[in-house]
């Protein structure tokens, strides 16, 4: 049946309502072609039979489709049931997740509140630490100043400061112990503690903490000791202001502690059994293990090998050989570099791209060469050097050789413009042997880093050793010129010109001719290392004090007693100062005049400029002279009491005022009481509060 007839059948059968007679007539009409009469009934009968057969086939097809559809309907119902089941499970799971999410949100809120409370406590602890550090700095300065005062006059103040000093020191040490895991906080505390006497206790406590991490019962005690030092050395350098001394104390504690116990334990059996041969063999073996700890590779030979390889490589490149030859030289150069690098960088150097084409076994053999060389050198140490202390001359020779090696390495770093590393190597060389050449080289490194003060100290020490080193004179002149001491730089250049005239010296000398020193010279606080300290002995300087000095004092004071009645009315011939330099100059001249002159001069200064003008350079003598000058001026009604009270109250805002007031004597406090009698009650109360004086005094 064609598709067109099938579509026609479907269209006729799907009519609603369905009429069978009408359907038969439609079929007959299509068979006869729409004729009014039937001319051939037999043919029509055959066609009807064919149509009936087609309808039967169509019915069969529909039956098959209906059964197929019913099958799929049952399958769809099953799938729909499973889908509903999964949907319910998913909803239940989603509900559980929602509940867990709500619980998680509650826990996050609790955690957030806990973190806020912890952060608040941390901020509070940080504020307490900052206040403790500020108090420590102030107490340390007070303690240093109090030690220079008269014990008879300021015994009470010194005792109070000493008590507070010890209390703050104890708090700092406790804070350092609590902050074992916070290196930044430990560094802050250690920096302040370095100025206290208890700094050694802080270092000892940290060294004890490191020793507590030493694994007890370890088979390789020497390797463990070396690992402890390597692990904690970076931390010590980050925490302590002078890490070298701390590392030395750690090493000394290891040698006198765990290593000493290990050696005694190893030799105890031989000593108790009087086995002298075993005792000596044990000492020899232990000495070899100790030598392995301080074994240092000398890379000088490897550096020569690298230089030779570079020369050969240049020659080969000019011969225009195959590219493989050049690559082989590159690989050989990378292998030789394994003999130069430090042990901690050995792994990275072994994975260099230049060694990508080299057999891994060959690289491992090359690395093993270093360890074999180390063992060979240790085992090759003569027996008499292992068991008998070395001669002092031999020790000095070895130290000089090591110092020379460090100097050469420093020169290499200097040529590569690695000035910080060069300074480190020069310092190590100076610790072994102090020479003017190394000091001069380190001074030049400091000059390149613009650390003028350190360069000047190195030059001074070098000139103590050899006063005719023109390079050192020129470098010191350069540093002095940079800090503003141009007159001193000019003198060094003149000396340098006498020793060895050069164009550079002459040019700089012409530049400094006629120039004066700077008005203000910035002098940084620089720690002087042991290697640049002078070897000269201290010289006692005796000062003869005439016995008649006590008798002459009244004679000098007599004319001053007659002047106050006349001088206050005389005009003060000093302008209002605008800089600290001008104020200091005027004060030195006013010291020779009665205190009233200084009081008038001080009252002429704008009160708003006190803090900016004086800064932290106000002295107790200035305040004393001001108080003594204000008393007669107020008694004579020469000045306004309102101006005096305002001056004293603004003076209390000057930095270090609290410290300066502590050193006022009883006489100054009595004069302050006289001043307060001329002031209003409220102003007098403020002045007494600021100057820490009681009303009943």
**Nearest Cα to 446, choosing from 434, 454, 457?**
454
Contact 456, 479 (CB under 8 A): yes
| Predicted pLDDT of residue 190 | 77
- Residue-wise burial string across 458-488, b where 16 or more C-beta atoms lie within 10 A, e elsewhere: bbebbbeeeeebbbbbbbbbbbbbbbbbbeb
Percent of the chain with pLDDT over 70: 69
Indicate the DSSP class of residue 402: H
pTM: 0.29
215-223 CB contacts, 8 Å cutoff, 24+ apart: 221/258, 221/259, 221/262, 222/259, 222/289, 222/290, 222/292, 222/293
**Chain segment 395-449, per-residue pLDDT in tens:** 677 788 888 998 999 999 898 888 888 998 998 888 888 898 999 999 999 999 8
Taking 70 as the pLDDT cut, the residues of the chain under it are 1-16, 34-36, 38-39, 119-158, 161-165, 179-181, 195, 197-198, 215-219, 288-302, 316-326, 341-346, 354, 366, 369-395, 519-573, 615-617, 695-697
Q: Give, as one character, the DSSP assignment of residue 257.
A: I
């Amino acid at each position: 049946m064609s598709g067109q007839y099938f579509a026609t059948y479907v269209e006729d059968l799907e009519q609603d309502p369905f009429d069978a007679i009408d359907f038969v007539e439609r079929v007959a009409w299509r068979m006869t072609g729409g004729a009014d009469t039937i001319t051939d009934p037999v043919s029509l009968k055959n066609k009807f039979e064919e149509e009936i057969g087609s309808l039967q086939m169509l019915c069969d097809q529909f039956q098959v489709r209906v059964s197929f559809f019913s099958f799929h309907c049952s399958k769809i119902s099953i799938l729909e049931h499973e889908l509903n089941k999964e949907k319910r499970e998913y909803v239940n799971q989603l509900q559980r997740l929602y509940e867990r999410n709500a619980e998680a949100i509650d826990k996050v809120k609790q955690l957030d509140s806990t973190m806020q409370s912890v952060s608040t406590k941390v901020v509070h602890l940080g504020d307490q630490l900052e206040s403790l550090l500020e108090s420590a700095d102030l107490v340390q300065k007070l303690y240093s100043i109090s030690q220079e005062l008269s014990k008879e006059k300021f015994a009470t103040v010194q005792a109070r400061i000493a008590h507070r000093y010890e209390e703050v020191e104890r708090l700092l040490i406790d804070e350092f112990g609590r902050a074992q895991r916070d290196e930044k906080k430990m560094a802050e505390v250690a920096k302040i503690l370095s100025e206290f006497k208890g700094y050694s206790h802080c270092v000892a406590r940290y060294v004890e903490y490191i020793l507590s991490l030493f694994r007890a019962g370890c088979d390789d005690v020497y390797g463990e000791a070396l690992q402890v030092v390597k692990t904690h050395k970076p931390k010590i350098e980050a925490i302590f202001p002078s890490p070298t001394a701390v590392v030395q104390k750690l090493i000394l504690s290891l040698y006198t502690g765990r290593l000493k116990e290990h050696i005694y334990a190893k030799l105890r059996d031989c000593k108790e059994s009087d086995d002298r041969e075993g005792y000596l063999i044990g000492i020899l073996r232990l000495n070899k293990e100790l030598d392995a700890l301080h074994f240092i590779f000398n890379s000088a030979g490897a550096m020569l090998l690298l230089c030779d390889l570079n020369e050969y490589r240049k020659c080969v490149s000019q011969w225009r050989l195959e590219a493989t030859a050049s690559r082989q030289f590159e690989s050989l150069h990378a292998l030789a570099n394994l003999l130069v690098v430090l042990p901690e960088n050995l792994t990275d150097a072994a994975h260099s791209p230049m060694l990508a084409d080299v057999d891994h076994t060959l690289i491992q053999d090359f690395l093993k060469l270093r360890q074999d060389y180390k063992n060979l050198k240790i085992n090759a140490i003569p027996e008499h050097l292992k068991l008998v202390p070395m001669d002092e001359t031999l020790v000095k020779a070895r130290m000089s050789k090591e110092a020379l090696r460090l100097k050469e390495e420093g020169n290499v770093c200097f040529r590569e413009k690695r000035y910080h590393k060069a300074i480190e190597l020069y310092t190590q060389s100076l610790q072994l042997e102090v020479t003017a050449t190394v000091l001069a080289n380190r001074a030049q490194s400091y000059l390149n880093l613009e650390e003028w003060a350190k360069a000047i100290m190195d030059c001074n020490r070098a000139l103590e050793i050899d006063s005719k080193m023109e390079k050192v004179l020129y470098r010191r002149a350069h540093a002095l010129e940079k800090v503003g001491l141009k007159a001193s730089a000019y003198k060094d250049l003149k000396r340098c010109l006498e020793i060895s005239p050069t164009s550079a010296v002459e040019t700089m000398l012409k530049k400094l001719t006629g120039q004066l020193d700077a008005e203000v010279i910035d002098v940084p606080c620089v720690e002087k290392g042991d290697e640049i300290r002078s070897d000269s002995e201290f010289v006692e300087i005796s000062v003869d004090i005439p016995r008649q000095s006590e008798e002459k004092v009244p004679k000098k004071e007599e004319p001053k007693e007659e002047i106050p009645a006349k001088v206050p009315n005389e005009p003060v011939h000093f302008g209002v100062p605008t800089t600290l330099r001008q104020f200091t100059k005027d004060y030195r001249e006013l010291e020779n005049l009665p205190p009233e002159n200084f009081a008038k001069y001080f009252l002429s200064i704008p009160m708003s400029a006190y803090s900016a003008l004086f800064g932290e350079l106000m002295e107790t003598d200035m305040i004393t002279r001001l108080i003594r000058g204000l008393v007669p001026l107020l008694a004579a009604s020469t000045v306004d009491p309102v101006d005096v009270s305002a001056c004293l109250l603004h003076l209390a805002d000057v930095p270090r005022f609290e410290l300066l007031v502590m050193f006022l004597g009883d006489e100054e406090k009595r004069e302050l009481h006289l001043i307060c009698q001329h002031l209003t009650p409220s102003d007098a109360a403020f002045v007494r509060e600021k100057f820490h004086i009681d009303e009943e005094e």
